[in-house]
Each structure stands twice: as C-alpha cells, then as structure tokens.
C-alpha cells in the first residue's frame, strides 16, 4: 500500500537534551511539501559534527532534535515540483545543497556555497513553511542540517538529495555523503599535491584518513599524520600514512617539529580536527614559497585564527575546503560511479569499523567519544 501523502509513523533516535543518550521514539513524519523528498533511511553513520551539536559545547542548543546527516536510503515519495527523483530511487541525503539556480551554483569558481541550501546547523525547520516534518503527539521535533537521518523516514529538500546508481551497495557508499568526500576531496580537489611531494594530515578520524587516502592516490612521498591519540597510528598505516607525530611528545609547537622533520616544511597540509590551534599549526608547517594549507575542520563559533602576516607574505597559501569542493547533486553521483568502477582507488570497507542495529545507536556515540574506530554503520531496519 502506498504511503504517499500520508503521515508515516516510524522509529527515530531523538536527542531531548544536550549530552544525554538518544531515545528511540515513535515519531510522525509528515508528507513532503513543495520541493521536498521523503526518504526511507536504511543506513546512517555517526559523524563528529553530530556529536558536537549533541554536546552543545560552544554551539547554540536546539532540542528536541533528530540528528544525523551521513546516510543512504530510498525515495518513498516526493512533493510538488520534484522531478529529479521518484519513488524507488536510491539516494544520498547531503548536509549541504545545490539549488542549481543561485550565483554560487551557477559559478564555475564556487562549488558548494549554495545561497539557498548552504549548511545551517542552527535551523531546525524546513524552508518551505518554517515548520518541522517531525512530531511526537503533536509536539514538533527539530531537524538537523536539513537531513535528520537518525530516523527511519526523513524529509529533505530536493537540493540536498543526490540520486545514485541503484547497483551501489547503500551501506558501503553511505560515508560518501559526508566524511569520505569531505576529506578525500580536500586533498585531491583543493590541496592537489604533486607526485613526490610531502603532505601533513592533522587528525586521524574518518575525514583525516580520507584526506590521507587522497594524498596516497596523488603519489605523495611522505604522509605525516598529526594526532593526539596514539591508538590511531598503527591503523592509519593502511591509509598511506608513513610517519606519526603526537604533539604531546614534544615541548615545542608541532609546526616547528614538522618543519625540522622536512627541512623547511611540508608541501601540503590538510587540517581535519576543527581545533583552531591545529589549524594554525597546519598553516605554519607548510613550506614558504609554495606550501598550501587546506582547512577542513569546523571550529567553534567564537574561535579566531591568528598567525603573523609574514607567514602569508612568504607565499604560503591558506585555503578552506567545504565538502571536498564537490557539488552535491552534480558531482556525488559521479563519485559513486567512480567508486563502483574502481576509479577512485578507495576501499570503503577500511572506513567502516563497527556496525550496530538502530536500537544500539548510543554505542556509536560511545565508540566515537572513546576514539575507537572510524565509522560505525547504524542499520535502521535492524
């Protein structure tokens, strides 16, 4: 029986307050409105951004809320005006969007800074009417970055939906919707190391290791990892990391350590932690004259990046990379196809280190808070 146009009741993991375990609840999911898509989520994974906004340390609290943004699923129904996807299509919901009409979307120089659908972590409602599509007994439950994938069904703006090859295994390509593209693209699309160059990667989570994979595929001769968790070092070798630096092992700034190790600095660095101090270190460790630093991690709202202007005048380049410089609707289907055709050189299995049924979603938070593993795949049908 078709559920199009009807309210769907399903299970969702609701965050009722900051830092408290999520609660599995029955929620009502309203039908999609104009330019919206209702998706049956089959797989979702936990990302650090979910944890940051769940903890609300330095961020604006908004509860009750359904978090989650790295996911894969199947279109259940579409709202008025939606022609790009239809029920049954396999899709990846994306935390940022591509309206295909604004100045950014039409620009050849800007890939994913969409004026309409750029990521907004503080907005908890849909754009069409300023209301939520989730509720419990009539009480609104807020959305998160327009995706809210910790629910068996969710409603997403069409501009944040990437239609993908139906032969792609949804559990394997799920991390492409956030972490993998964010890190991999920051290296291959923005930092662009040349064969034989040296690269420093700050942070060895899934995003950082995806960035390391990008450096390996580009042919970097040395890939130096910087992380405070020594348990990550051995595992990181499988992603092309050749050397490891733990800032806690030194009594001087880590950028000075790396400059000494490399005889003047690395050719490229990619920062994937969100720590403003790591960002400064990543910039100051690149070689003068040609070094390029790419910032990927999301800082806290009140953080400030400070470095001496001479570091820039010495012809070091500082860049930011958002979602790996990929356009969500245009590029992600091609990324999935390249993965299927083994053209990317990425082994997605290496990133998925844990798997839990939906009822155990809080275990995924435990793993991440303890620094265990990379991506924990959450099975919403299990």
CA 261 – CA 329 distance, rounded (Å): 41
Contacts of 261 (CB under 8 A, 6+ apart): 224, 243, 245
Residue 78 pLDDT level (bands cut at 50, 70, 90): very high
Dihedral sign computed on CA atoms, order 328, 330, 335, 336: positive
Residues belonging to the active site: 47-49, 69-70, 99, 102, 105, 114, 118, 178, 375
Please give the share of the chain, as a percent, with pLDDT higher than 90. 93
CA 381 – CA 122 distance, rounded (Å): 29
CA 242 – CA 224 distance, rounded (Å): 6
Residue 5 pLDDT level (bands cut at 50, 70, 90): very high
Mean pLDDT of all residues in 275-296: 98
pLDDT at 98: 97
* Nearest residue to 54 via CA among 380, 361, 381: 361
- pLDDT exceeds 70 at position 105: yes
State the pTM of this model. 0.95
pLDDT in tens, 186-243: 999 999 999 999 999 999 999 999 999 999 999 999 999 999 999 899 999 999 999 9
Residue 1 pLDDT level (bands cut at 50, 70, 90): low
- pLDDT exceeds 80 at position 382: no
């Amino acid at each position: 029986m078709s559920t199009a146009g009807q309210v769907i009741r399903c299970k969702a993991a609701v965050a009722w307050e900051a830092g408290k375990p999520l609660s599995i609840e029955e929620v009502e999911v309203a039908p999609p409105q104009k330019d919206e898509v209702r998706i049956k989520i089959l797989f979702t994974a936990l990302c650090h951004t979910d944890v940051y906004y769940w903890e609300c340390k330095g961020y604006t609290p908004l509860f009750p809320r359904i978090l989650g943004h790295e996911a894969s699923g199947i279109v259940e129904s579409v709202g008025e005006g939606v022609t790009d996807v239809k029920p049954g299509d396999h899709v990846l919901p994306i935390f940022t969007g591509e309206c295909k009409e604004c100045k950014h979307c039409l620009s050849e120089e800007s890939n994913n800074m969409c004026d309409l659908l750029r990521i907004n972590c503080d907005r908890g409602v849909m754009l069409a009417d300023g209301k939520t599509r989730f509720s419990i007994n009539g009480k609104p439950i807020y959305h998160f970055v327009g995706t809210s994938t910790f629910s068996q069904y969710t409603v997403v703006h069409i501009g944040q939906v990437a239609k993908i090859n139906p032969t792609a295994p949804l559990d394997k390509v799920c991390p492409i919707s956030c972490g993998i593209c964010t890190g991999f693209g920051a290296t291959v699309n923005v930092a662009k190391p040349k064969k034989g160059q040296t690269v420093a990667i700050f942070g060895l989570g899934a995003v950082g290791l995806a960035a390391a994979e990008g450096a390996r595929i580009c042919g970097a001769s040395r890939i130096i990892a910087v992380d405070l968790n020594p348990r990550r070092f051995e595992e990181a070798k499988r992603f092309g990391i050749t050397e490891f630096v733990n800032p806690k092992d030194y009594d001087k700034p880590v950028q000075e350590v790396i400059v000494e190790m490399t005889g003047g600095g690395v050719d490229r660095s990619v920062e994937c932690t969100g720590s403003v101090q790591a960002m400064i270190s990543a910039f100051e460790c690149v070689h003068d004259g040609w070094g390029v630093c790419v910032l990927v991690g999301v800082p806290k709202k009140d953080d400030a990046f400070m470095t001496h202007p001479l570091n820039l005048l010495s012809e070091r380049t500082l860049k930011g990379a958002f979602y790996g410089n990929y356009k969500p609707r245009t590029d992600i289907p091609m990324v999935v196809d390249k993965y299927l055709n083994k053209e990317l050189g990425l082994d997605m299995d290496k990133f998925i280190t844990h798997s839990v049924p939906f009822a155990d979603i809080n275990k995924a938070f435990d793993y991440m808070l303890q620094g265990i593993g990379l991506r924990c795949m959450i099975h919403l049908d299990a």
